[in-house]
Amino acid sequence: MPIYRSHVLICGGTGCVSSGSNEVMEAFKKELSEKGLDKEILVVPTGCHGMCEMGPIVVIYPEGTFYCRVKAEDVKEIAEEHLYKGRIVERLLYKGDEVPHIPNYKEIPFYGKQERVALSNCGYINPDNIEEYIARDGYAGLAKALTELKPEDVVEEMKTSGLRGRGGGGFPTGLKWSFCARSKGDHKYIICNADEGDPGAFMDRSILEGDPHTVLEGMAIGAYAMGACEGYIYCRAEYPLAIKRLKNAIKQAEEYGLLGENIMGTDFSLTLHVKEGAGAFVCGEETALMASIEGHRGMPRPRPPFPANKGLWGKPTNINNVETWANVPHIMRRGGSWFASMGTEKSKGTKVFALTGKVNHTGLVEVPMGITLREIVYDIGGGILGGKKFKAVQIGGPSGGCLTEEHLDIPVSYESLAAVGAIMGSGGLVVMDEDNCMVDVAKFFLEFTQRESCGKCTPCREGTKKMLDLLTKMTEGKAEEGDIDKLEYLAKMVQETSLCGLGQTAPNPVLTTIRYCRDEYEAHVRDKRCPAGACAALVKYTIDPEKCIGCTKCARVCPVGAISGEVKKPHVIDQKVCIKCGNCEETCPVQAISHS
Amino acid sequence: MVNKIKNLEDLRKIKDSCGDLTSTRSATEKTIVVGMGTCGIAAGAREIMNEIMKELQKRGIKDVSVQTTGCIGMCQKEPLVDVIISGKERITYGNVSREDVQRIIAEHVVNGRIVEDLAVGRAD
């Protein structure tokens, strides 16, 4: 095997691919072969580095130099300066707040407080090469389980680790495995839930794209522990890259005898399939997911019977989320107590979050449990965009809750988040600033869950519709006194009486925003006013006649001709015609126009 | 077609043979730095680099990181090659020829003995 003095790692995650990393990769290959450097420098496509806004990302080893927003045109300079002459191309380095240029990956504050377990190989290895995974101790966890441990020992190790379901439920994984392991059946199934559907969340996709083998290895360990011989990865079809890499990984693992018949020369056999889902949010619910695999319409059914007893095609089945499976090989290799040494008393290990919204650094982060929201938002996320004021963070996506300033110092754990009405969820974290209206935010998430409701049970189908009607009335200034109480009453009813997790959690964003930002709701209902200025119907643009110099600029940019006035005399806005686009306010040279 | 992994030993063998796939990406104890400024290139630093890679390949040495650097000011002594072994002083070799590369790698990089007659500088 040839030795390369330098490796050029190019991010091939969906984020970087869409900002042009494939072109960068081609440019590197061409440039290196033209310079005769292709025998000593290796170009490696990798998974997501997490800092998607800075993409395409290129990391050069052995130095560990981290280049951001690299374009194909920059490649010639990197090849000539860095790879040939050893001079770092400063203009492409990450620019920190205090330090002008940070050359090394590990010194960037975004990575400082992170602890990477599930993501440890993401952005470090070529996901399409099983040998790179093996070089990083891949499949050693499976080997240990198969050669040294009995199935029940594996379940015990999982219990020791304290790992809990990362899809949002937080059910202890070891306990769940023990149910399925005890269940009698000649044919058992394991399923990987990769139906990630929260708006703005991409944790599972990144793991599947960046390190598919870790999920396969985790599933193989689970199948051995529970006595399963067949498994499915249920992944939404809108993740084409993840599906492609998964299928390639399964093929490679089968060739190496790490999946299929008689794995590693033992009696244990496992066949894995990839099932592409159509992308319905409700199919993330385990019973709906199984119905979908069986070829039925994706709808949940009441439990019990639980999947551990009667799951896929009526056989004992165990379902875990992508991130949960991805943690399993690490636990097998390094031991349950190692995993349990991270995190809080009841929430062990790490959690991956997709950090989005009004923060300076968005992206994928993996942090130890127990870290505070403040550390995530300010230390990792770099604070609020444009120096604005923090208002709230929506944790757990459409099933989660909105938390405000007063909650910034609570530690991130299943219990502490549930205590304030939010949930850990699968890992969506949307940060909002003073310009976000909480009523509008609640409406946004409810619109999503309402649309995704499968319609099987009445509370979810009708209740979320009525809740959305009330919220729409509020944002349009048509709400009546008592509507907030009505909304709260309805929300609690939907929460308590819905059939599955979708309906039971859909009211969370509404309930938490009412609980923590009731004054904003009251302003919408009583004063027909949106304090954040986000609800278009409630915004009113006015021109201050004292300040207006009659330059006519505003009248010229108004797309609907709502502004009139003579030159050099104060102008006025016709409120009936105004569509609240805000063009006039932006254009006014003397700040005479404001909105409320 | 690859051979199927039948036991722990097979997996370990693959891991060992693949080790250098990712070893370039992790920190190493030993580093060789070749001066690649215009002066270095003019004095033949590329050939020296090729020779270093060839020698490492021949000996199957995987725990050494090879880097390049710009001009450090001793242009008359190019090609310059630095050997850095963590915890020891950094040695700069000057006017390095292709034959010297073999000696530097055999004596200094592998056995830790500085090649005194070629050394032109030391630093902590």
Q: Which residue would you say has higher pLDDT here, B2 or A394?
A: A394
What CATH number does the domain located at A350-433 have? 3.10.20.600
Residue A1, pLDDT score:
66
**So what's the pLDDT on residue A97?**
63
Q: What does the alpha-carbon distance between residue A476 and residue A536 come to, in Å, rounded to a whole number?
A: 8
Residue B61 with chain A: CB contacts under 8 Å: 3
Is residue A210 within 8 Å of residue A250, measured between CB atoms? no
A264 touches chain B (CB under 8 A): yes
CB-based contact B4 A125, cutoff 8 Å: no
B42 touches chain A (CB under 8 A): no
Whether chain B has a CB inside 8 Å of the CB on A568: the answer is no
Amino acid at A353: F
Q: Do A86 and B24 touch (CB under 8 A)?
A: no
Indicate the angle between helix axes A464-475 and A483-497, nearest 10 degrees. 150
**Measured between alpha carbons, how far is A497 from A492 in angstroms, rounded to an integer?**
9
Nearest to B70 among A3, A86, A258 (CB): A86
Q: Does A87 touch chain B (CB under 8 A)?
A: yes
Cβ-based contacts of A40 with chain B (< 8 Å)? 49-50, 53
Q: Using an 8 Å Cβ cutoff, are B68 and B36 in contact?
A: yes
Give a three-class secondary structure readout of A95-151: CCCCCCCECEHHHCHHHHCCCCCCCCCCCCCCCCCHHHHHHCCCCHHHHHHHHHCCH
- Where does A1-53 have alpha helices with state H? 14-18, 21-34
Residue B29's nearest CA partner among B94, B100, B86 is B86
Contact A264 B5 (CB under 8 A): yes
Q: Cα–Cα distances in Å, from A264 out to A82, A133, A271, A380? A: 43, 16, 14, 42
More confident site: B1 or A465: A465
Q: Left, alpha or beta for A485 (phi > 0: left; psi -120 to 50: alpha)?
A: alpha
B20, pLDDT greater than 70: no
Answer whether B5 touches A (CB < 8 Å).
yes
Across the interface, do A129 and B34 touch by the CB < 8 Å criterion? no
Within 13 Å of residue A368, how many CA atoms lie on the same side as its CB? 13
Q: What CATH code would you report for B24-123?
A: 3.40.30.10
The topology (CATH level 3) of A6-112 is Glutaredoxin (3.40.30)
* Candidates 2.130.10.10, 3.40.50.300, 3.40.50.11540, 3.40.50.720; CATH matching A130-336: 3.40.50.11540
Contacts of A86 in chain B (CB under 8 A): 33-34, 36, 67-70
B 48-107: CB under 8 A from A = 49-50, 53, 56-57, 61-62, 65-70
Using DSSP bridges, classify how beta strands A593-595 and A541-543 pair: parallel, antiparallel or unpaired. Answer: antiparallel
Instruction: Determine contact: B47 vs chain A, CB below 8 A.
Output: no
Starting at the earlier edge strand, list the strands of the sheet with A189-194: A271-277, A230-236, A189-194, A317-321
Residue of A7, A42, A265 lying closest to B7 (CB–CB): A265
Task: Report the 10 Å Cβ neighbour count for A569.
Answer: 11
* Cα A226–chain centre separation: 29
CA atoms within 13 A on the CB side of A422: 30
Task: Give the helix, strand, coil percentages of chain B, each rounded to 5.
Answer: 45, 20, 35
- Amino acid identity, residue B25? R
Lowest mean per-residue pLDDT among A188-197, A412-421, B13-22, B101-110? B13-22
Q: In Å, how far is B24's CA from the nearest CA of chain A? A: 6
Instruction: Enumerate the residues of chain A whose CB falls inside 8 A of the CB of residue B8.
Output: 143, 147, 264
pLDDT digits (tens, 9 = 90+) for B49-87: 999 999 988 888 888 889 888 887 888 898 999 999 988
Q: Does A256 touch chain B (CB under 8 A)?
A: yes
Contact call for A85 and B36, based on CB within 8 A = yes
Per-residue pLDDT of chain A (596 residues; tens, 9 = 90+): 678 889 999 999 999 999 999 999 999 999 999 988 988 899 999 999 888 888 899 999 988 899 999 999 999 999 999 998 888 898 999 887 656 677 777 778 888 888 999 999 999 999 999 999 999 999 999 999 999 999 999 999 999 999 999 988 899 999 999 999 999 999 999 999 999 988 888 999 999 999 999 999 999 999 999 999 999 999 999 999 999 999 999 999 999 999 999 999 999 999 999 999 998 999 999 999 999 999 999 999 999 999 999 999 999 999 999 999 999 999 999 999 999 999 999 999 999 999 999 999 888 999 999 999 999 999 999 999 998 999 999 998 898 999 999 999 999 999 999 999 888 888 899 999 999 999 999 999 999 999 999 999 999 999 999 999 999 999 999 999 999 999 999 999 999 999 999 999 999 999 999 999 999 999 999 999 999 888 888 888 999 999 999 999 999 999 999 999 999 999 999 988 998 888 999 999 999 998 87
Q: Which of A5, A65, A82, A90 to probe by mutation at the B interface, max B CB count within 10 Å?
A: A5
Nearest to A6 among B18, B24, B69 (CB): B24
* A451 CB neighbour count, 10 Å cutoff: 10
Q: How many whole angstroms separate alpha carbon B123 and alpha carbon B107?
A: 19
The structure's pTM equals 0.90
Which A positions 265-324 lie with beta carbon below 8 A of chain B? Answer: 265
Binary contact (A257, B4; C-beta < 8 A): yes
Q: Where are the domains of chain B?
A: 24-123
Could you say which of 2.60.40.4070, 3.30.70.980, 3.30.70.20, 3.40.50.20 is the CATH number of the domain covering A540-595? 3.30.70.20
Q: How many CB atoms lie within 10 A of CB A427?
A: 28
Residue B38 confidence (pLDDT): 87
Decide yes or no: CATH 1.10.10.10 for domain A438-526.
Answer: no
Spatial separation of the C-alpha atoms in residues A371 and A366, rounded to whole Å: 11
